[in-house]
Amino acid sequence: MDLKSPLEDLKKVASKLSIDIITANLFYPEFMIKSGFCRVKGKNTIIVDDSLSSQEQCEIIIQALKRFDLESIYLSPWIRERLKPDNST
């Protein structure tokens, strides 16, 4: 399965919630940076390591989106399924 489309779907959901997604190389020998949700200058942001596979990038975004109220926006069925609280994969 090609995960480019699911990744783009997740980025669109984040955009609807005014969440920035920053994709960058997070490898720095001096210190460790992990992908995930944070606030940058008061703005909700998801930082994603571009060395991760598309599937891993999707999982980072899904985990971050679980923090938000998503009832008021359209989510494709596969996204809604992955966001269920009991779905930890």
In the chain, domain spans: 4-82
Q: What is the pLDDT of residues 51-62, one digit of tens each?
A: 999 999 999 999
Burial-class residue 3 by CB neighbours within 10 Å (0-12, 13-18, 19+).
middle
Q: What is the pLDDT of residues 1-37, one digit of tens each?
A: 455 699 999 999 999 999 999 999 999 888 888 999 9
Tokens linked to 31:
């210190």
pLDDT at 1: 46
pLDDT reading at 89 higher than 60 = no
**Residue 76 pLDDT grade (very low, low, confident, very high; cuts 50, 70, 90):** very high
